Structure 1
Amino acid sequence: MYQIPGYEIVEQLYFGVRTAVYRAFPIYSQTPVILKLLQKDRPTFSELVQFRNQYTLGKNLNISGIIKTYHLEFSQNRYILSMEDYGGISLAEYLPQQEQGLSLEQFLNMACQLAKVLQSLHQERIIHKDIKPANILINPQSQEIKITDFSISTLLPRETQEIQNPNVLEGTLSYISPEQTGRMNRGIDYRTDFYSLGVTFYELLTGKLPFLSKDAMELIHCHLAKQVVPINKVNPEIPAILSAIVSKLMAKNAEERYQSAFGLHHDLENCLTQLQETGEITAFELGKRDITDSFIIPEKLYGRETEVADLLAAFERVANPPESPLTK
């Protein structure tokens, strides 16, 4: 077991190429903490920036639904981040333990909590940019949900993403939004988190990801252009309205997604209330409370239908030229 001065290591929670995570007790206290440390003796500048970013954002946030950050230390030539330990494990670890899968009520309780946490984050103008089961923690006893890992999060209402090699993109390819790939010529705002949350919901409800590929470019293409199979087509036991909520979250264009976590929470809570009171979830109008407090100009063309049609027609002519008599 790895030794860290000043701490008694109790359990190794994660061991990866870049980071390792341990549960520990400080020698001066009986309050458990989570320690996250960089594996390399000489981490890259980018890795150091991300580690520092996680500490800075976590330290200055007072939101009950995120993991509190305590200290950033330097020991044995490694940076170590100490964080709150509330007895949680990641959803990526928790889900395989559920032999029967999640019940609808259990899922909706989790989903409502996540929507409220995102609402608090977005009110602070923070874009998480890496929502996925591995970064969502659940206490198995209390079922309390918290979000962790702000290493690539942004304290900006909006940012511009550049085209990059898919192997170095910020975020996780299986959960990344179309605009976060840098291949849509549009900025990133808080609505990128809704897409990643939609992918997470899809996985929680069906047991699999909406898009599966070992090829990074193919996966990016799926996020950009391929329509996802609705959840209720994959699992007919899922109510159609809940499937519609997830499809709305995963819309390719941010303007077609939910525009506020408050509106999302309202619809999820409606589903939960119906389920608890009647045992079923019937259809209702989505987004009735979906009102954003941000002024965002849609990034699409208006009044240019003729020009767009001409461009598409020209593209089709070039891509599919008529067969030349000389080639016959």
Structure 2
Amino acid sequence: MHKKTTVLWDDGERVLWRGPSSVVAGQSELFVRLAADQPMPASLDRLAHEFGLKDELDSAWAVRPLRLVREGGHASLAFEDPGGEPLARLLGAPMEIGYFLELAIGIAAALGKLHQRGLIHKDLKPAHILVHCADEQARLTGFGLASRLPRERQAPEPPETIAGTLAYMAPEQTGRMNRSIDSR
């Protein structure tokens, strides 16, 4: 990482940080890098999948990927930087109700725009939501598991191999329900 960087979150598998752009002087970008020295192929596939969605994501409600970089056995993804911070940083303390409702409305609006594009996020959690962006709008990120299908069946798998974050996952995404995954 560069000298003037700020780590926004680190989940053990991926690290998101803000740093200076390597392309445009004076601007910042967001970067996601896989934390492991020898990342699993599925983790690399998720980065590539997220990059592949760049033309379907709109900067008004999503953090858009700019480039996928592979160097020295590491892969990272550079994103536009809308400013803001992950919602995860704001949790754990009481919020004033008006402020909470402003955040909730912004997040719901961003999620609605995602669904209008025919995409299902499949890993929506506080770390994948940026709030307090420069234009005061919420942005979604973390599209490595996103699906373009209006409905899909999830095959049952052992809990340790389920993709996504179990605490925030829809029950049908676990493969243990007789329901398809959809935008609900």
The alpha-carbon deviation at position 63 of structure 1 amounts to 4.7
Residue 62 of structure 2 aligns to a residue whose secondary structure is coil
Matches within 5 A, 1:207-286: none
Structure 1 ranges of 4+ moved more than 6 A? none
Shift of 1:142: 5.8
8 A Cα contact 1:71 1:81, kept in partner: yes
Query: C-alpha separation between the residues in 2 aligned to 1:63 and 1:86?
Result: 8
Q: Give the drift of 1:12.
A: 2.5
Q: In structure 2, which of residues 82, 86, 89 is the aligned counterpart of residue 86 of structure 1?
A: 82
**TM-aligned CA distance change 1:140 to 1:154, over 3 Å:** closer
- Partner residue in 2 for 1:172: 165
Greater fraction of residues in strand: 2
Normalized per residue, the structure richer in helix is 1
Aligned residues: 183
Secondary structure, counterpart of 1:179 in structure 2: helix
Candidates 18, 24, 41, aligned match of 2:19: 24
Question: Is residue 91 of structure 2 the alignment partner of residue 95 of structure 1?
Answer: yes
Give the secondary structure class of the aligned counterpart of 2:181. strand
The separation in 2 between residues aligned to 1:59 and 1:11, in whole angstroms, is 27
CA-to-partner distance for each residue in 1:259-297, whole Å, 9 max, x for gaps? xxxxxxxxxxxxxxxxxxxxxxxxxxxxxxxxxxxxxxx
Q: Write out aligned runs for 1:45-60 (5 A).
A: 45-60=41-56
Matched, 1:119 2:112: yes
Larger Rg: 1
Q: Distance in 1 between matches of 2:11 and 2:176?
A: 29
Deviation at 1:145, TM superposition (A): 1.3
Query: Displacement of 1:44 after TM fit?
Result: 1.9
Q: Distance in 2 between matches of 1:29 and 1:44?
A: 33
Q: Is the 8 A contact 1:86 1:139 kept in 2?
A: no
Q: What's the RMSD between the two structures over aligned residues?
A: 2.0
Greater relative CO (CA pairs within 8 A, separation 6+):
2
Greater shift in the superposed pair: 82-91 or 156-165: 82-91
What stretches of structure 2 of length at least 5 have no aligned partner? none
TM-score by length of 1: 0.52
1:115–1:142 Cα change, 3 Å? same
Q: Which is worse superposed, 132-141 or 171-180?
A: 132-141
Name structure 1 gaps, 5 residues minimum. Answer: 192-328
Are residues 102 and 69 of structure 1, via their aligned partners in 2, closer, same or farther at CA, if it must alter by over 3 Å? same
Distance 2:20 2:134 in 1: 21
**Which residue does the alignment assign to 1:11?**
6
Which one of the candidate residues 125, 144, 152 is aligned to 2:137? 144
